[in-house]
Structure 1
Amino acid sequence: MFMQELDTDVLIVGAGPTGLMMANQLNKYGIRYRIIDQKNRRSLYSKALVVHARTIEMLEILGVEDKWINESFISKQLNFYYNDESLFTIDFSLLRKKTDFPFLSILPQSETEKLLENNLPAETVQWSTKLIDIQNHEDSARATVMKGGEEYDICARYVIGCDGAHSKTRKLAQMPFEGESENITVMLGDVEINEPSLNNKLSLISTQRGLLFFAPFQNNYTRVIAIDFDKQGSNFPEEVTLDEIQASVTKLYPESLQLENPFWLSSFTASHRQVPSYKDKRVFFAGDAAHIHNPLGGQGMNVGIQDAVNISWKLAYVLKYHLSPSLLDTYQEERKPVAQDVIKATDRLIQVMSIQNKYAIKARNKAMQVFLNNHTIQKKIASRLSQIEVDYTFTSFSKQMRKRTEAKKSTTGERIPNIGLHTLRNEKSDLYDLLRSGECLLLVYTDESGLPQVKEQVMKALQVFYQKVGDFLTPVFIIQNDVQGKNDNDEAIYFDIKGEVKDRLGLSNGDVMIIRPDAYSLVHTSSNQAGNLKEALVNYFG
């Protein structure tokens, strides 16, 4: 029996962190969407734990970052050991000049999902709703789903597969999942431990017989990940129990350590895989449905959430402002190489940390102690892990704009950090607060004497742009002056009191920058090169 057809603009399949972030973004833009999941409720278990700085920046733009930080265990360091010998420590506090979040936020995936779902209107997620089939057409997609034993169709302009490593969306689209197993099976458990030194830091311990990872989180619980070289392949236990993990920890940890009161036990075989295309007509793939890799570095959930941010604002612009669907092609061009880099890095890391030859181990340990305790290298590693180093400067559009524009400190495709500003009434504000509207920002840096003329010219040009393209470009005029005595209520004017716009973004008098909704630079040029702005907008937005 078929129920009445339900129509929507976007159907999101999967209500994990990627799908829920997708829903939050579309909800912000007022786009019609539905989100379904075959589970009967959100996850009760911790699963992914680490939330990195760039992801928290996306949550800040969404306006919910305080909830994450308040609920999280905060770690500023990731410590690497060989047995009980310290190899090196990644110090995330070295990033304090690059981001407002120079740390690792440790929060169970169940809590991440709870916070994201609670930020949506009540009962938005359609639980116990299973995807059965997809008819993928050039202008729409029709999904057949089942709920309560009854089937019905949902006709959507787009379907986004956010349904994980075993994605039904991907399988129905007959999209290959290319890659291979890393032939390493992992045991993990969320337990209480009796070692105070492990309760306040993240630690990765390698030995000749395996690897251990400890990550403390809420309610005195610690995530224990064990890779026991003696329990691989046919020797891996049929069922992961506390006793099995305890036996491996006893063998691998250099001191006596007791695991107690398990909340969740699991296992998996590490693999790295990726779809060849992130899009098939009207179906897109994001998160684990598009790419998977081993868990070292805690990258997976973060990459998925940022996939969702990237495709969601572009979908919203195509649907809301009727832009060319070619904008959606930039999703794969930008995000696929990011996942490829993560796959390579995590595969390389697990190979290096899994060396068993004692001479190779000695050489590796010495090299790590010599080279990886350098602050410059530390900062580079921390930047990569926290994903604040991710940019889109490698895309064809970015390369084209660099050829057209004069050299600037911030170039097309680079991440834009949050910058403090002041209103005319000396009230604090910042760039990410302005990005909360979901619109692109048109930053114009000028002195006070030139403001009236510049503002008049920009507003006239914007009126033409709004009529011909869409009203998704918000002007922000920034002046480096003292704000005392200013009573003007013009909400488009801000002051760069601390010089952050000048120093961190590299804007000088007469410069113009367009910032995307996901806090990446679209173009940075001079106001006397208006043709570059027009070209950037036309070429990127079609």
Structure 2
Amino acid sequence: MRNTVDVAVVGGGPVGWMVACELALAGVSVSVHERRTERVKQSRAMTLHPRSLEILALRGLADRFLARGLPLPTAHYGVLDTRLDFSALDTAFPFTLFIPQAVTEALLEERARELGVDIHRGHQVTGLRQDPEGVDVEGTREGGTFRVRARYVVGADGARSIARTLAGIPFQGTETTMSLMLGDVVFGTLPDQPAWTTVNEHGTLMVAPLGDGRHHRVVMNDPLRSGVPVSEPVTLEELARSLRSIEGSDFGMHSPLWLSRFGNETKLAATYRSGRVFLAGDAAHIHLPAGGQGLNVGLQDAMNLGWKLAGVLRGLAPEALLDSYHRERHPVGASLLRNTLSQTALISTFNPAGLALRETVSALLTLPDANRKLAEQIAALDVAYAEPPLPAPPGLDTVSGLPGGRLPDLILRGTEGASHSLYSLYSLMHEGRWLLLRREDSAPRPALTAAWAEWTNVVTADIPAREKDWGAWTSLWVRPDGHLGYVAHGGTP
């Protein structure tokens, strides 16, 4: 088998599907190559955070996920007693969405199929060879081999990424120093509440219902078992024994659906780009899954990369735009590792000093500003990009403190003609294009260059509620990923 595509995506998990959807939406030919023949049934990740729901809403997909998940107004930081309050965040989605990773993956694959993505299961990539014009991807499949010629390759193939290895990108950080246990089980009896956490001198415990009406997820850090290699299987008796040690009872645990062990290996790719090969998701960053952030950051990597690749491949942006992917997302990955390392310290020290530290930090989180800061960090609403990815279009510029930050789903008031209807910002961005938002009285209005015109929707509207924040703006240019690109004030457009 041999074919030619614009982009070959290695890995058919949620991140791979997300980047494939972004590319296909823009009319770019894309193929996904997944080594597994069937979709994974188990779900490591169980949560979508506000920013992930925002980027799904930017493409008109959020309702599909909201219909399958359970909104929760709080989240934990290091399993502290004081929870993070997401209900106070400036977003249309002030909650975490409890939804199994398997459902997230299925919904994104469904969207990829709707967009005509070329999907290949049972494809094990074994070789990548770059030249100035593209990349030859080679591998094995049932009954033979395959070869794909692509202009670019995206490695979204997880922590043991073959794409990263073949591209020669160093993966730097720390190895596993402790292991935790996970089990999806049925309880014979339950405490008063269906979900709870316990931290004491015997370890850390988190329990939550899986949403199927029968199974609960149990996650434990038992210091007596934290030295067991990740490769050693977990048994139901081992899980029950640790639960009795921490909680005093195993609540009649039985019928395990899935038992697993995972570690705190923490690594970051030295670069997210090597020539024509890019990394996204766990291929670029791995860590203890504290706060459920890995999948979410991966989806956000995918959107950032997708629209940039599409713009370059369609001839609407210079190839230099692709350099901004590493420049913008690598610092986000580094911040993610710091965040999860700090939580690791909170959930893995069971001596009096460690328990005292937990009490202190938990008390600090009762302060609204401290709570909001960490909630925004977990939710990824604090991400802002310091430098614009492209030179400013004619008549627009960057203004300190504004461009680069994500925009919530602002309510706009149409002002053109006789229409004064209200609609949302995100509803204008389902096509994955730039959005030029102009006030009715803004002048002059220079013509867009051909490339910008082909890549930009122009809307005349106002944002009454944001007047105090942005002053006398006349035009806002919003990136396809919902971050503010450029602003014009006063006499500019």
The change in CA–CA distance for 1:192 and 1:76 in structure 2 (over 3 A counts) is: farther
Is structure 2 residue 480 aligned with structure 1 residue 520? no
What is aligned with 2:403?
A: 412
Q: Secondary structure at the match of 2:103?
A: helix
TM-superposed deviation, 1:207: 1.8
CA contact (8 A) 1:445 1:508 kept: no
The change in CA–CA distance for 1:437 and 1:255 in structure 2 (over 3 A counts) is: same
TM-superposed deviation, 1:280: 1.0
What is aligned with 1:434?
A: 428
Alpha-carbon deviations, 1:142-182, whole Å to 9, x = none? 00122223112100000000000011111111222111124
Is structure 2 residue 279 aligned with structure 1 residue 285? yes
In 2, Cα distance between equivalents of 1:381 and 1:405: 31
TM-superposed deviation, 1:407: 5.3
Percent identical among aligned pairs is 29
The change in CA–CA distance for 1:236 and 1:182 in structure 2 (over 3 A counts) is: closer
Is structure 2 residue 171 aligned with structure 1 residue 158? no
TM-superposed deviation, 1:522: 1.0
Of 252, 260, 278, the match for 1:258 = 252
What is aligned with 2:412?
A: 421
Q: Secondary structure at the match of 2:184?
A: strand
In 2, Cα distance between equivalents of 1:24 and 1:521: 22
Identify, as 1 or 2, the structure richer in helix: 1
TM-superposed deviation, 1:357: 2.2
The change in CA–CA distance for 1:236 and 1:309 in structure 2 (over 3 A counts) is: closer
Where structure 1 has 5 or more consecutive residues not aligned to the other structure, the ranges are 480-495, 531-542
Question: Which amino acid in the other structure matches residue 385 of structure 1?
Answer: I
CA contact (8 A) 1:321 1:469 kept: no
The change in CA–CA distance for 1:76 and 1:38 in structure 2 (over 3 A counts) is: same
Alpha-carbon deviations, 1:359-406, whole Å to 9, x = none? x1353144134311112211122111111111213x4869999xx968
What is aligned with 2:210?
A: 217
Residues 288-437 of structure 1 aligned to structure 2 (within 5 Å):
288-358=282-352, 360-393=353-386, 395=387, 411-423=402-414, 425-437=419-431
What TM-score results when the alignment is normalised by the length of structure 2?
A: 0.91
In 1, Cα distance between equivalents of 2:332 and 2:146: 37
TM-superposed deviation, 1:442: 1.3
The change in CA–CA distance for 1:322 and 1:529 in structure 2 (over 3 A counts) is: closer
Q: Secondary structure at the match of 2:454?
A: coil
What TM-score results when the alignment is normalised by the length of structure 1?
A: 0.83
Q: Secondary structure at the match of 2:265?
A: strand
Q: Secondary structure at the match of 1:233?
A: coil
What is aligned with 1:482?
A: none
Residues paired across the two proteins, number? 484
CA contact (8 A) 1:26 1:33 kept: yes
In 2, Cα distance between equivalents of 1:114 and 1:210: 35
Question: Which amino acid in the other structure matches residue 474 of structure 1?
Answer: N
Alpha-carbon deviations, 1:427-479, whole Å to 9, x = none? 44211111112111112234xxx36xx3xx42x422xx12x655212222224
What is aligned with 2:20?
A: 23
Is structure 2 residue 9 aligned with structure 1 residue 8? no
What is aligned with 2:108?
A: 116
What is aligned with 1:60?
A: 57
Q: Secondary structure at the match of 1:308?
A: helix
What is aligned with 1:141?
A: 135
TM-superposed deviation, 1:80: 7.2
The change in CA–CA distance for 1:235 and 1:41 in structure 2 (over 3 A counts) is: closer
The change in CA–CA distance for 1:179 and 1:371 in structure 2 (over 3 A counts) is: same
In 2, Cα distance between equivalents of 1:177 and 1:362: 33
Higher relative contact order (CA 8 A, sep 6+): 2
Residues 29-48 of structure 1 aligned to structure 2 (within 5 Å):
29-48=26-45
TM-superposed deviation, 1:141: 0.2
What is aligned with 1:232?
A: 226
What is aligned with 2:461?
A: 478
In 2, Cα distance between equivalents of 1:191 and 1:12: 35
What is aligned with 1:102?
A: 94
